[in-house]
Amino acid sequence: MSIGSALSDFMNALMGIVISVSNSIFAVFHAVFALGADLVHGVFTIAHHLVAMMVDLFSGVLGFITANFVAIAVLVGGYFAYVQYQERNRGVVRNKT
């Protein structure tokens, strides 16, 4: 084995290392972008299923009754949260500057 062929093998090995590292970096970025795309897809899928669930829930006579019950429950919950918020902040004096 001559020095020239040894040096050529060494350079080939160094190039193989550089190519492998660059491929690994590319694979990490690809995985991050794929994760982001899957996350966005998942959010839209959840939103789609929620809309479909609400449409199914509020259809028909039973849906009408259920919709009224849910609307009343939301209003009562909002009123309860408002009263709790007002009671918690009733004694607070704020300085106006």
On whether both 15 and 40 belong to a single domain, the answer is yes
pLDDT of 66: 81
| Model confidence pTM above 0.85 | no
Q: Quote the number of domains for the chain.
A: 2
On whether both 37 and 6 belong to a single domain, the answer is yes
List, for residues 55-94, the tens digit of each pLDDT value: 777 777 777 888 889 999 999 999 999 999 988 887 665 6
Q: Which residues of 15-33 are buried (b: 16+ CB within 10 A; e: fewer)?
A: eeeeeeeeeeeeeeeeeee
pLDDT of 67: 81
pLDDT of 3: 85
List, for residues 23-42, the tens digit of each pLDDT value: 999 999 999 999 999 999 99
On whether both 11 and 31 belong to a single domain, the answer is yes
Its domain, for residue 75, covers 58-89
On whether both 64 and 26 belong to a single domain, the answer is no
With respect to residue 52, please indicate whether it lies within any of the assigned structural domains.
Answer: no
